[in-house]
A and B are shown apart, each in its own frame.
Chain A
Amino acid sequence: MSRLIDPWGRPRWLRLTTWAYIAWSLVPVLAAIVFSFNDGRSRSVWQGFSTRWWWGDPNLSVFHDPIYTNALVHSLELAALDMLIATPLGFLLAIGLSRWRGRGSGSANFLMLVPLTTPELAMAVSLLLVFTQLTIIPFTWVALGTTAQVIGQVTFSVSYVVVIVRSRLASLGPEYEEAARDLGASARQSLQHVLLPLLLPAAFASTLIVFALSIDDFVVTQYMSAGGETVTIPMLLYANARGAATTPALNAVATIMVIVTLVGVGGAYLVLRWFGHRSGEAGGEAAGQMGMDLTGME
């Protein structure tokens, strides 16, 4: 019998490249996590296992040093505020923009895309200048600090919410709404009784992405900050990563950030899968899109 050949053979070097890439992308992060358990002060030479930088050391460990605990609390605080404001704002904007035709809608659509296509630094500079130089209401109400940080984060988060919710709206098509209208629901009732429940998984997914965006954000958050009270974990990483005196507690706080994000995202994925299981595809699709949507694609 002659040897059967697979017309769609899988070159071994592609497989190797892929696994090598995955190792390259993840091993350094794992190493940084491992170093948070280092027994010595070094973040580059392994000196044995300990939990002193997590909780053992009464002054310098993550859970005891106020520098870290403050940053942790402030990061979570900003993330919560960002989620609370950006999600409803973006959700309504997505629904509105998807149906609003006529004067102004084109500019609104363009405006929504600006934060996605501008380097964050340009946004950060512009917000800094407007809050420090423009002396008219409402900008005079905003001082640098938590308020400005929330405003900055919401401003770029909103666009992500709009993109996610709109892609879900597009995949739903107009038919459910038409069916609701046909069965006697007014425009508002069909929005409330049909569109909103169907968009719930997308709203949920976008909330989580806003959370991840906020937790990980550095540039805008730094530009909008005002001193020690408003330092977040990414800001701590930026300020101390190269510091000679920095201990593995920095690795520990970074690890906490990674864990919080992954638990959130993993949990959200499971919830969306459950949504999807209940209604056929709706949530499953949203779960699949979560990764895609993060990049602001389609």
Chain B
Amino acid sequence: MTAATGPAATIGGHAGGEVELIGLEKRFDDVVAVDRVDLEIASGEFFSLLGPSGCGKTTTLRLIAGFERPTGGDIRLDGASLAAVPPDRRPVNTVFQNYALFPHLNVLDNVAFGMRYQKVKRAERERRAKEALELVELGDYAKRRPHQLSGGQQQRVALARALVLRPAVLLLDEPLGALDAKIRRALRVELKALQEEVGTTFIFVTHDQEEALSMSDRIAVMHEGRVDQVGTPREIYEGPATLFVADFLGVANVMDVEVVTSDGRGCRLRVGERELRAECDFLGSGAASAVVRPERLRVLPHGESGENFIPGMIDRTIYVGSNLQVMVRLANGGLLQASVPNDGADLESHAQGAPVSVHVPPDALRILAPRG
């Protein structure tokens, strides 16, 4: 969506849009789908709810939209409770997973649908709907039926239909899920640009970590109805608060370690017979888990030594094009996965059985309390 400042002004620009979830809970019979969730989402933020299917993210979204009645807690929009407000009265709109474009209406009428209930005059409705379609570059498709559009186009109609109502908050339920990989990547950029342009609060539900990381201002990772961690993409990826978060976002090496000393700024760990230094704020000592991302590990020829080097032997190397996935077997039997950029060097030095030294940068280690 290129520089469409004119139309953007007509569809965006709702003041406020600050959402607070306070102890929000939803039970279905004896299943707890959303378990006392507390979140504060700032006005104009692109906020993602990330998690595997069944983690409660969609239910949370449906609670905010008003399709489900919470069994506990409260939802506040700009300080006012939404608990008693039916979905049609909430200044919140949704882009549905399969878009839910009305098949009996053409594209323009779909976009104009909601304005009817805001008592917007017919001529005005049509003008704003057309502008919204221009904004999503579908101005020429106004008279088409939804089923005549491609998946990506349908998704943009659904966006226009919701945004034209100038909602305080836009809820997006896996809006890219039904599209194929290439379009999905292109739409990610467009969606983010659009959000910045209109300045509306976006609450985006996805199970795709790459999607969440690349678009969000902040992310809440959900797991079994609870929020495990809230933070910026970088905080969450690099400083996972739980093993689940570490595991769910990308590939993570998890090592069982023993914390020998810690002083709040750094600590010393024992991994097998080796000692490593880590920059972390972990306090205490004893058994713990150390998490490190494969791309932070460096695999060097055998013999390199110094602080935070661990010797090992290459177990397997998998060629994945842009890089090599190198599995290194450590002396204590553990396995580390390292990601080595494919810089054109020959693959001999990473052949199976080759002895290597793995460097673990102190700032790449994240220490978590042990499992369970």
Q: Do A and B come from the same complex?
A: yes
Binding site for B on A (CB under 8 A): 175-176, 178-186, 189-190, 193-194, 197-198, 200, 278-282
Q: Which 10 pairs, one residue from A and one from B, show the smallest C-beta to C-beta distance?
A: A280-B147, A183-B114, A184-B117, A179-B100, A279-B103, A175-B100, A181-B87, A197-B104, A182-B94, A184-B114
B90 shortest CB reach to chain A, Å = 8
**Do A185 and B117 touch (CB < 8 A)?**
yes
B237 interfacial by beta-carbon distance below 8 Å: no
| Partner among A176, A181, A182, A200 whose Cβ is within 8 Å of the Cβ of B102 | A176
Is there an interface contact between A178 and B145, defined as CB atoms closer than 8 Å? Answer: no
- Known contacts A279-B103, A280-B146; 11 further A-B pairs (Cβ under 8 A): A176-B102, A180-B102, A181-B86, A182-B92, A182-B94, A184-B88, A184-B117, A198-B102, A278-B145, A279-B147, A281-B103
A107 nearest CB across to chain B (Å): 22
How distant is the Cα of A227 from the Cα of B113 in the complex, in angstroms? 56
Contact of A183 among B67, B146, B162 (CB under 8 A): B162
Interface residue B165 (Cβ < 8 Å from any Cβ of A): yes
Q: Once bound together, how far apart are the Cα atoms of A175 and B173, in whole Å?
A: 12
A182-B87 in contact (CB<8A): yes
Q: In the complex, are the beta carbons of A175 and B147 less than 8 A apart?
A: no
A179 touches B102 (CB 8 A): yes
**Chain A residues, Cβ within 8 Å of B92:** 182
Residue of B87, B93, B162 with most partner-chain A CB within 10 A? B87
Most buried by A among B86, B117, B162: B117
Given A179-B96, A184-B165, are A282 and B117 neighbors across the interface (CB < 8 Å)? Answer: no
Partner of A182, one of B88, B101, B104, B118: B88
Report B154-189 CB contacts with A as 1/0, cut-off 8 Å.
Answer: 000000011001000000000000000000000000
Selected A-B contacts with CB under 8 Å, 13 pairs: A175-B100, A178-B67, A178-B100, A182-B67, A182-B93, A183-B113, A183-B117, A184-B89, A186-B88, A194-B104, A198-B103, A198-B104, A280-B146
Please state if A175 and B96 are interface contacts (CB–CB under 8 Å).
Answer: yes
Would A280 and B162 be within 8 Å (CB), given that A178-B87, A179-B96, A185-B117 are in contact? no
State which of B67, B103, B104, B161 has its C-beta within 8 Å of the C-beta of A181. Answer: B67
- A185 pairs with B88, CB closer than 8 A: yes
Chain B contacts for A198, CB-based, 8 A: 102-104
- Given the complex, which residues of A lie within 8 Å of B103, measured CB to CB? 198, 279-282
Interface residue B153 (Cβ < 8 Å from any Cβ of A): no
Instruction: Let me know if B65 is at the binding interface, CB within 8 A.
Output: yes
Q: Say if the beta carbon of B98 comes within 8 Å of chain A.
A: yes
Nearest-neighbor residue (CB-CB) of B146 within chain A: A280
Q: How far apart sit A193 and B165, CA to CA, in the bound complex (Å)?
A: 18
Q: Mark B102-142, 1 if CB is under 8 A from A, else 0.
A: 11100000000110111000000000000000000000000
Task: Give the Cβ gap from B113 to chain A, nearest Cβ, in Å.
Answer: 5
Q: From residue A295, how far is it (CB to closest CB) to chain B in Å? A: 27
Return the chain B residue nearest A186 by Cβ.
B88
Q: List the B side residues contacting A184 at CB < 8 Å.
A: 88-89, 114, 116-118, 165
Given contacts A178-B96, A280-B145, A280-B146, contact A194 B114 (CB under 8 A): no
Q: How large is the interface on B (under 10, 10 to 19, 20 to 34, 35 or more residues)?
A: 20 to 34
Q: Which residues of B contact A200 (CB under 8 A)?
A: 104
In the complex, the chain B residue whose C-beta lies closest to that of A280 is B147
* Closest chain B residue to A198, Cβ basis: B104
**Docked complex Cα distance between A113 and B67 (Å):** 30
- Please indicate the chain A residues that have their CB under 8 angstroms from the CB of B98 in the complex: 175
A220 to chain B, nearest CB (A): 36
B33-73 toward A: CB 8 Å interface, digit per residue (1/0)? 00000000000000000000000000000000111000000
Complex: A180 Cα to B104 Cα, angstroms: 13
B87 contact set on A, CB distance < 8 A: 178, 181-182
Q: Which residues of B contact A178 (CB under 8 A)?
A: 65, 67, 87, 94, 96, 100
* Interfacial chain B residues near A194, Cβ < 8 Å: 102, 104
State A193–B100 Cα separation when bound (angstroms).
Answer: 14
B67 and A279 form a contact (CB under 8 A): no
Given the complex, which residues of A lie within 8 Å of B118, measured CB to CB? 184
Q: Are A182 and B145 in contact (CB under 8 A)?
A: no
- Distance in Å from the Cβ of A276 to the closest Cβ of chain B? 10
Q: How distant is the Cα of A186 from the Cα of B66 in the complex, in angstroms? A: 13
CA of A184 to CA of B87, assembled, Å:
7
Beta-carbon nearest neighbor of A275 in chain B: B104
Residue among B98, B103, B146 facing the most chain A CB atoms (10 A cut-off): B103
Bound form: Cα–Cα A12–B75 in Å: 67
Most buried by B among A183, A186, A189: A183
Chain A hits for B96, CB < 8 A = 175, 178-179
| Nearest residue, chain A, Cβ from B87 | A181
Chain A contacts for B94, CB-based, 8 A: 178-179, 182
**Cα–Cα distance between A276 and B118 once the two chains are bound (Å):** 31
Nearest CB in chain B: distance from A282 CB, A: 6
In whole Å, how far is A275's beta carbon from the nearest beta carbon of chain B? 9
**Pick the contact of B147 from A180, A189, A190, A281 — CB < 8 Å?**
A281
Q: Are A282 and B162 in contact (CB under 8 A)?
A: no
List the B side residues contacting A278 at CB < 8 Å. 104, 145
Nearest chain A CB to B67 CB, angstrom units: 5
Q: Which residues of B contact A282 (CB under 8 A)?
A: 103-104
CA distance A186 to B146 in the complex (A): 23
Instruction: Flag if A176 contacts B100 (CB, 8 Å).
Output: yes
A180 touches B67 (CB 8 A): no
Residues of B within 8 A of A279 (CB): 103-104, 145, 147
Please judge, given known A-B contacts A175-B98, A197-B104, whether A183 and B86 are in contact too, CB under 8 Å: no
Contacts A178-B100, A194-B102, A198-B104 given; indicate if A183 touches B93 (C-beta within 8 A): yes
* A142 to B154 Cα, complex, angstroms: 55
A181-B88 contact in complex given A278-B145, A279-B147, A280-B145, C-beta closer than 8 Å: yes
Most buried by B among A180, A182, A197, A282: A182
The distance in angstroms between the C-alpha atoms of A178 and B114, with both chains bound, is 12
* Chain B min CB distance to A268 (Å): 19
B62 to chain A, nearest CB (A): 8
**Alpha-carbon distance between A175 and B146 when the two chains are bound, in angstroms:** 15
